Structure 1
Amino acid sequence: MELDNQTFQTEFLLLGLSELGPWQSVLFPVCLCIYLAGLVGNLLLVFLVKTDSHLDTPMYFFLGNFSFLEICFTSVTMPRLLANTLASMKAISLPGCLLQVYFLHSMGCTECFLLAIMAFDRYLAIHRPLHYSTVMTRRLSVTLEATTWIACLLYSSLHSVILSQLSFCRRSQEIHHYFCDIPALLQAACSDVSLGKSVLHVAGTVVVVCPFAWTLLSYVLILAAILHICSAQG
């Protein structure tokens, strides 16, 4: 029996909320209110940054981009979660699952590096206040932002390509979560997943550890700079 004849996987069942039973209907308005509140708040912040000339600084530029990123990030998972709280069949197609994984990891990667950039921006503003405006120019801000988005979209596409090559040998497989993620798909695959696991561990570690270390270092230097300010006016 050939493996190719078994690869007819068409959907996954997201069962992350099934254990709540009748409480799923109560969860829907709560999650909807939280999602809408975050959506409105972030949209308002993006609008203010774009329209208020007083906020035309690198700090607010990054903050506006971070709010836009949060809108995209939550919109990858929350609509599916809301739909599953009301649906009897919590199914998602294989292409839909792969698409969700792609955007989930690209947004997550972008958030990690954007936080590191924002920390570096605050370090320059506090530690080098006289040189800040000449170093953190509008061009540099846009370049850092664009590079982060492009690099993380390419990073996530690497995972998507590897996952798309896997074979899934049952028509419906259960995922005990409310969204698709790489570990769940690797566990559900019936083909060799060693490459996918290696890429997940290596690339995932770099994406998380490097921005975290840079952010931590930036705030340590910020704290050190503040402690060296002696006068009350300073």
Structure 2
Amino acid sequence: MSSSNTFNLNQSGPTEFVFQVFTTSRKIQALLFCFFLLLYIMILCGNTAIIWAVYTNSSLRTPMYFFLSNLSFLEICYTTTVVPLMLSNIFGGQRPIPLAACAAQMFLFCSLGGTDCFLLTVMAYDRFVAICHPLHYTLIMTQKRCIQLVLVSLVLAVFLNLQLTTLVFNLPFCGHQLQINHFLCDVPPVLRLACGDTRVHQAVLFVVGIIALTIPFVLISISYIFIANAILHINSAEGRRRAFSTCSSHLCVVLLQYGCCTLVYMRPRSSTSEDEEWQLALVYTFVTPLLNPLIYTLRNKDIKDALKKSMSCKILSETP
């Protein structure tokens, strides 16, 4: 690989980035630390519970729950790329991180987030096949095809964000230690610290946003148009209710995830404030991964029954 395609890690550029502090008050820092730690633990527990329920109950070994368990695993990885470092900075003040570590965090965060978006599209396709073509569902959504769809989502997201991250960190940065007005190394705040012309990088970010956000959202919308039409033609009210219940949880997660990400990555740079960016980033870093297990467990009878069954078996096995 030529030097033009490698990260700018020479001594002429900055070697460290420093995140902004939420507050300098020790009491508020302690409250924020406990609050975000509690949210993180809830995210880990909630998503782990879904994975455990799916893989310990044979009744949930279907494509829909296979995708859901993969989504939960992604949510765990996604938040883990950000939250531990964020928590250490809340109490530790402005601890600098090396340029390479900032690049790694950006790549992992964006790649996992992109995979999340593509997987939500796959889940919409799964619901489309299940409701609109129920007789062919088992023939179309085979185990092999499900694994292929997850892998394609991951590979596409990794490919797009490897190019984007490499492009961003080839920019010249002025200074040895630069402060990011954010709690993570996201693309927009890092681009603001560059000394060079970032118009090409903004254009690439917009294209990646179209591929990872706009196109998937359009495909999801088309899927749900067909799904809604099929549900309306179901004669049984109970059948319509069950069909809708399998889609409503997914729709809630989609709207929250795509709404926040679109506001951060797809709006013109001039209309986006730095404070709005990190506030929205808090939503898709904490709220979406937390609501994912809550929405699916509260609105999905199969998941609730599987968790109750698993817990009952665990308690009985430990009873002397």
Q: Give the TM-score of the pair, scaled to structure 2.
A: 0.68
Tell me the residue number matched to 1:168: 173
Q: C-alpha distance in 1, partners of 2:237/2:115?
A: 38
Once the two structures are superposed, what CA deviation does each residue of 1:50-77 show, in whole Å capped at 9, x if it has no partner? 2322211100100000000000111111
1:65-76 maps to which residues of 2 (within 5 A)? 65-76=70-81
Tell me the residue number matched to 1:199: 204
Tell me the residue number matched to 1:86: 91
Pick one of 111, 114, 127 that aligns with 1:109: 114
CA change 1:56–1:179 in 2 (3 A) is same
Compare 184-193 and 75-84 and name the one that shifted more. Answer: 184-193
Give the drift of 1:232.
4.2
Q: C-alpha distance in 2, partners of 1:152/1:70?
A: 15
Whether the 8 Å contact between 2:21 and 2:89 is mirrored in structure 1 is no
Q: C-alpha distance in 2, partners of 1:42/1:6?
A: 42
Pick one of 127, 140, 145 that aligns with 2:145: 140
Q: C-alpha distance in 2, partners of 1:198/1:9?
A: 24
Give the drift of 1:225.
0.7
Give the drift of 1:233.
6.3
2:131 counterpart of 1:129: no
Whether the 8 Å contact between 2:20 and 2:180 is mirrored in structure 1 is yes
Tell me the residue number matched to 2:20: 15
Whether the 8 Å contact between 1:6 and 1:169 is mirrored in structure 2 is no
One-letter code of the match for 1:181? D
Give the drift of 1:193.
2.2
Corresponding residue SS for 1:170: coil
Q: Give the TM-score of the pair, scaled to structure 1.
A: 0.92
Whether the 8 Å contact between 1:6 and 1:170 is mirrored in structure 2 is no
2:223 counterpart of 1:179: no
Whether the 8 Å contact between 2:125 and 2:220 is mirrored in structure 1 is yes
Give the drift of 1:21.
6.6
Give the drift of 1:90.
3.2
Tell me the residue number matched to 1:46: 51
CA change 1:206–1:233 in 2 (3 A) is closer
CA change 1:89–1:223 in 2 (3 A) is same
Q: C-alpha distance in 1, partners of 2:11/2:44?
A: 42
CA change 1:195–1:43 in 2 (3 A) is same
Give the drift of 1:201.
1.2
One-letter code of the match for 2:58? S
Whether the 8 Å contact between 2:21 and 2:90 is mirrored in structure 1 is no
One-letter code of the match for 2:142? T
2:43 counterpart of 1:27: no
Tell me the residue number matched to 1:226: 231
Once the two structures are superposed, what CA deviation does each residue of 1:120-150 show, in whole Å capped at 9, x if it has no partner? 1011111111111111111110110111111
Instruction: Give the unaligned 5+ runs of structure 2.
Output: 1-9, 240-320
Give the drift of 1:16.
5.0
Whether the 8 Å contact between 1:16 and 1:175 is mirrored in structure 2 is no
Counting aligned pairs with the same residue, the percent is 38
One-letter code of the match for 1:47? W
Tell me the residue number matched to 1:61: 66
Q: C-alpha distance in 1, partners of 2:11/2:99?
A: 15
- What is the total number of aligned residue pairs between the two structures? 230
2:217 counterpart of 1:212: yes
Once the two structures are superposed, what CA deviation does each residue of 1:131-180 show, in whole Å capped at 9, x if it has no partner? 11111111110110111111111111001211221121201111111111
C-alpha root-mean-square deviation of aligned residues, in Å? 1.8
Q: C-alpha distance in 1, partners of 2:168/2:237?
A: 57
Whether the 8 Å contact between 1:11 and 1:91 is mirrored in structure 2 is yes
Give the drift of 1:105.
0.8
Give the drift of 1:203.
1.6
